[in-house]
Chains A and B, each alone.
Chain A
């Protein structure tokens, strides 16, 4: 006879996969709170929502009575278990059995007058219907309680999530404001008085090697970056005046920022290596030259509108924030 079914030990184990899926679902559901904690929170809310002094309803007391062991507000009368034995039977002990027999024997005579069977069947059915509705009522009441409880549980869970998200949003908003202010501050570090700014040529001449080294920095990493710094220092020395000084300040700030972001070490959601975007922006700054400083060296994602998109500060606005 061919073998009966057997469980194959293959690379795929459905039981194991299902266990993992269910564990993952449980994990997702209880991110911050355990199920027990959530239930406790929900119970508190339930009391609050269904406070009989505040809500014109006796729902909570009703449910409480139902939840108490053996507790029901008004105990309904006991259902009458009806069958044909009750019609013919007798409770008189030994003689009862004889009476029952005699009644059954006389049943055909009784049937000459009327047929008791439909009555027995109807009463039997009515008894079953009563039992059914009683059971249904009990079940529905318990179900209602569970339903309300679960709804409150979900509302509590959602409330907590909303609160968390609000806090997170506020935090992000604060950070965004701060970044915005810092960006504007950096942009306004270098300001030109009309007519008093340096000639573009020396600046471009000073930045040309920076741009070349920036490209090298992208290729060669840290060593090339050091080379960029050296070239910039040379540039600072070679080209005196406001813009060059401002460039040196920006470079120092960039180095400080790099140091800070390196310490934080958090990759952004765009993926890639930490700091790679900053490098790119930095080298881009070199490549674009010193065209006023806007758009260079700020760690914005290329997809987001950077400071370049903001209105450029007008000449004479010498405000450092």
Chain B
């Protein structure tokens, strides 16, 4: 079986969520199939500037084909068009223009996919919202699988993506919430799909004492891992934790791992370690009382899965549907919506050892059952088998809906993306798309 993983950026030093996800999946599938990676020459997701050489190269033993981006992104034009398509009624032509300005506009990549469609059994596209996925899927629809990595933002409500969600051969979702959202937006329930997520390389053993000695941390602590950014909910976390320290006696502290975009408050019980290596990260999580995940927007939190793999409970922002759904499905984490709930839940985790260890145990089991690499790879292979069986059975896949004509594309009949998303069902999906 020959597969192509198509992603906007690719490389060992590229740590974006979807890109890392794509690399892990490509490397794991390469053990069971022949895998090529098709990507652009860009490294920076803001400008899509061509920084890596075009052509073939090897990354961790995989063949990577890079294609140049036709032009860099103009942030002002992109911002203007985003405001238009997300905020007001518009035409399909406006949406296509928005996609073109978003990039990475690599026509060479799309041409390659079109020319070599029959050279691969399946193409696995990552990140529905970018140029390469939209045009690439249209070029090779009968062999296209999509890993949407969708968050709850206006892009999901744009009209141009609904035919894509309906026209791919299969969808590999990250979570039930993502599936419920996309199915509500695009009505693509009939398309084969599976909630699969991504695995993680968690060490078999950790050394919490080494971490404590290295950083001189003697007291119990909760840990946050990731970019320290207001968009990740860190400002709110600081405020909640400050209230916690004033409301609950004890010496629990908050340890932060990751680069800070937001100033870290000067608080005697908040400790910022900066960017740390994998060893320190895993040892730190293992040494902690719990991992805290304050983000509002996550399609799948890999660090939460890692904490569960290490048997630590998670305290998540309940306003993020995906995180709340993960906590409920796993029975391995508590969640909060506001400072009072933060204080209560954290105090409960800290004071009730039996509960904390039971949550951690459930988390470990949840990870073992759903997020180890053999399980993830098995789900991909099963999907390929299913599609192959459909092909051999003579069941022709539904053709991709064509783009409307020149005039129809210019009719301002599309609703604002944000408005569409606001009307989509919200809340954690407990199972099979059922929402609370």
Contact = CB atoms under 8 A, between A and B. Distances in A.
A43 B14 CA distance: 57
A5 B176 contact: yes
B362 A12 contact: yes
Give chain B's interface residue range (CB within 8 Å of chain A): 35 or more
Which of A7, A18, A84 has the most chain B CB atoms closer than 10 A to its own CB? A18
B212 interface: no
A11 B355 CA distance: 9
A7 B331 contact: yes
Interface in A58-105: 83-85
Contact of B333 (A8, A10, A14, A84): A14
B412 A85 contact: yes
B335 interface: yes
B359 A128 contact: no
B348 A21 contact: yes
Interface in A6-22: 6-8, 10-15, 17-18, 21-22
B331 A8 contact: yes
B107 interface: no
B232 interface: no
B382 A7 contact: no
B265 interface: no
A1 B382 CA distance: 6
Nearest to B80: A125
Interface in A24-81: 24-25
B331 A25 contact: no
B340 A25 contact: yes
Contacts of B329: 5-7
Given A11-B358, A12-B331, A25-B341, A4 B412 contact: no
Contacts of A83: 89, 412
A2 to B, nearest CB: 5
A118 B88 CA distance: 17
Nearest to A131: B88
12 contacts: A2-B375, A4-B432, A5-B329, A6-B329, A7-B328, A10-B358, A14-B330, A18-B335, A24-B344, A25-B340, A128-B87, A132-B87
The 5 closest A-B pairs by CB, nearest first: A1-B382, A12-B358, A21-B344, A14-B331, A128-B88
Interface of A: 1-2, 4-8, 10-15, 17-18, 21-22, 24-25, 83-85, 124, 128, 132
Given A5-B370, A25-B341, 13 more contacts: A1-B378, A1-B379, A1-B382, A2-B370, A4-B432, A10-B358, A11-B358, A12-B358, A14-B327, A14-B328, A15-B328, A17-B355, A132-B87
